[in-house]
Structure 1
Amino acid sequence: MELAEKYWFSSWFDTPYYHILYKDRNDDEARDFMKNLVSFLELPQGASILDLACGRGRHSVFLNSLGFDVTGVDLSENSIAYAKQFENETLQFDEHCMCKPVDEKFDAVFNLFTSLGYFDQEKDNLESIQAIREEIKEGGYGVIDFMNVTKVMENLVPAEVKTVKGIDFDIKRRVQDGYILKDIKFEDDGESYEYTEKVRALDLDKFREYFKKAGINLKHTFGNYNLDPFDEKTSDRLILVFN
């Protein structure tokens, strides 16, 4: 069995419809976040960065444009195939599952835009964090950018229809068994499709538990892409900086 076939999300993330539904993600916001983050970490020009679960590489490409040596990895074959068009001497992309360490160490390892917590097995989340620890050079940093699950669950929109490129995505959200689930149904060219996104509702206490088991030191917590302090009730994001 291929590695990607072990995980439910590989089939959805590998479809063109995933990228259609999320095509309006805010690139300006993402770029500002990267600038704020590398400035806060005081990463020097030429520092090595691993973009873990990089998708089609939008963060990787921008970080590389800032002068960093970037490696982007993702489980999605199609996303990596797309990202490879941007490769150069200091920007590389490879297929890889985050629950195993890559065979290299970096000045910084970034896991961005809620790209953890999709695994069915609890041990895979812990192993992913342990892998990040193995990938960080001495004196380097890891960063996990996750949703603030407390605010998300308190403000969950149960149902909506989002129309993108003429496709009506019928979206329903729910919380079940410690996961936040998003059921997505749509039709295109006479065919019906149905997918479910499933993300474990990891809060700050759960990350602290993972970090303790992984031997990781949590240094800073931020609540948005401007790196303002984290507040469980009001913050949009949970951004963890550790080593």
Structure 2
Amino acid sequence: MRDEAMPWWRHYFDETFFRLHEPLFPEEESRREVGAMLDLMGLPAGSRILDAPCGWGRHTVLFGEAGVQPFGADLSFPLLSRAAGALSSAGSPVRLAAADLRALPFRDGVFDGVVNVFTSLGLFVDDAEDLRALREARRVLRPGGRFLLETMHRDDVVAAYAHRDRWTLPDGTEVRVRRRFDPVTGVSYERLWWRRGEERGEKRHALRLRTATEVDGLLRAAGFTGMRYYGDWSGEPFTHESPTLIVVAERRD
């Protein structure tokens, strides 16, 4: 029986999550994102990169193909199992850890780069917990290492907030979503229903959306410097209308 007091992210990222979301991310799109991450971070071949959280490894595997040494960390055992299978199939070393972003099982200064994408920083909802995750990312970076964060941009999301949405996956699964945004806390609450034939289910999550000002404040509080902001993966300048907020920060000491 599920503990209702358990944080939503403890049970949300399961096989159902994978089945509902994997079709939304074509491999070529993920490949372009990996190329953009390496370009924006300016990391050469052979660099050690931590993908955290790595999910089912859609970027982790492609980092290996791009000539860097990928490591992955995630709390979801189902998704880590998927990532391990993908890495093995690609002939890449399986370097994965079941880990909380707030307590990474790596030594200080072992990575040249750390990436946190898909608005994963907002999972904890709370500023103090997200700050712990950022400080851990900085801790495992070597001096001079780069941290890349990609998240939805609150200003743009709120300007055209989609309270309802629906789509159909290639396997015929029908997905319906209802959302509610709290402008005081900055949290977006989502309730998702899915149906495929006689199968059906429901999932819920809450996600903290932040302005660039709030993100910048957290990064500075975590000890990062030299922040560079972008509005998309092509490196376009970040503006108030950018749907995506991408920032590259450094650990300089």
Could you say whether these structures have the same fold, taking a TM-score greater than 0.5 normalized by the shorter chain as the test?
yes
Decide which of 94, 99, 102 is 1:99's aligned counterpart: 102
1:124 aligns with 2:152: no
Give 2:232's match in structure 1, choosing from 216, 224, 227: 224
With over 3 angstroms needed to count, the CA separation of the structure-2 counterparts of 1:83 and 1:21, relative to structure 1, is closer
Distance 2:92 2:15 in 1: 29
Residues of 1 paired with 2:210 and 2:58: CA distance? 25
RMSD: 2.0
The runs of at least 4 consecutive aligned structure 1 residues that moved more than 3 Å come to 87-91, 187-192
Moved more, 56-65 or 26-35: 26-35
Unaligned runs of 5+ in 1: none
How far apart in 2 are the matches of 1:195 and 1:224? 29
Q: Specify whether residues 28 and 207 from structure 1 end up closer, same or farther in structure 2 by C-alpha distance, changes over 3 A only.
A: same
| Equivalence for 2:191 | 183
Alignment of structure 1 residues 109-188 onto 2, 5 Å: 109-164=114-169, 165-176=171-182, 177-188=185-196
Deviations 1:143-164 (A, max 9, x none): 0011112111111222122222
Q: Percent identity?
A: 24
CA distance in 2, matches of 1:6, 1:202: 24
Q: Is the deviation greater in 30-39 or in 49-58?
A: 30-39
Decide whether the 8 Å contact of 2:187 with 2:208 is kept in 1. Answer: yes
Structure 1 residue 89, shift from structure 2 partner: 5.9
Q: Give SS of 1:156's match.
A: coil
Task: State whether structure 2 residue 210 is matched by structure 1 residue 205.
Answer: no
Report the secondary structure of 1:58's partner residue: coil
> Which residue is equivalent to 2:28?
28
Letter in 1 for 2:205: E
What is the CA–CA distance in structure 2 between the aligned matches of 1:174 and 1:217, rounded to whole Å? 34
After TM superposition, give the deviation of residue 59 of structure 1 in Å.
0.3
Distance 1:101 1:170 in 2: 35
Alpha-carbon deviation of 1:236? 2.1
User: Which deviates more from structure 2 when the two are superposed, residues 53-62 or residues 98-107?
Assistant: 98-107
TM-score, normalised by the number of residues in structure 2: 0.86
Preserved CA contact (<8 Å) 1:12 1:18 = no
Give the Cα–Cα distance (whole angstroms) in 2 for the partners of residues 55 and 33 of structure 1: 15
* Structure 1 match to 2:45: 45
The number of equivalent residue pairs is 238
Deviation track 1:155-189 (CA, whole Å, cap 9, x = no partner) reads 12221222222322221122023211221023456
Q: 1:17 to 1:220 in 2, by over 3 A?
A: closer
- Residues 102-144 of structure 1, C-alpha deviation per residue, up to 9 Å, x if partnerless? 3132000011121111114332111001111101111110000
